Homo-oligomer: A and B are copies of this chain.
Amino acid sequence: MTEEGVNGLSLSEVARRLGVKPPSIYKYFDSIMGIYDALFERGQRANLEVMRAAMEGVEPGLDALAAGLEASGRWAVNHPATAQLLFWRPVPSFEPTPEAMAPSFEMVWLQRRALADAVAAKQLGPGADSDEALYVTSVFVSGVIGQAMANEPGLPWGEGRFSPLLPKLLGLLAALYPPKPAGRRRS
């Protein structure tokens, strides 16, 4: 996928590099879509696990959210081909199975909980305990990853023009959802 594009993955080439003949692959996968599905699930799982690990042992709330998203971003730029498969759906005929999708719901939940913790810790206002806040953070991360991968391929996370922006962008959550609502008249 790295060499030919995600869409250029070939079952025959997989067999070639494994040192077996193409028919052998069919003992393990029903079709090339089965290979995509396994790659998709592995990728989702790996991404979830680095995020989970990064969030553990960090103060719950904004710190955990930032640590988790940084880890996810680092994983993505380190696995650009898989990340494209997961996040940009470049193979229209491939639809991941529910099992392959499952880890991504877990990731959403981790982020949603971190936002709720940030609200509870008064790092963010109550509006941050919302799907909207989740979408905003996902836009930040996906934007940074996409720009980094497209414009600075091969650069490690933390270098270049884009990935260093992520902490600054996450800091904007406090501007969107200020912990102390701007003093307004009682309503």
Contact B88 A149 (CB under 8 A): yes
A169 touches B6 (CB 8 A): no
* Stretch in A42-50, A60-68, A136-144 touching the partner: A136-144
A12 contacts partner chain B, Cβ-Cβ < 8 Å: no
With A4-B92, A88-B84, A90-B84 given, is the CB distance from A147 to B139 under 8 Å?
A: yes
Is A187 engaged at the interface, CB distance under 8 Å to the other chain? no
A155 on interface, CB distance cutoff 8 Å: no
Copies in the complex: 2
CA distance A2 to B5 in the complex (A): 16
Distance in Å: Cβ of A91 to nearest Cβ of chain B:
5
Closest chain-B Cβ to A164's Cβ sits at a distance in Å of 9
Which residues in B have their C-beta under 8 angstroms from that of A6?
A: 5, 7, 90
Q: List 12 A-B contacts (CB under 8 A).
A: A2-B92, A88-B90, A88-B146, A89-B149, A136-B169, A139-B169, A141-B143, A142-B143, A142-B147, A168-B176, A172-B172, A172-B175
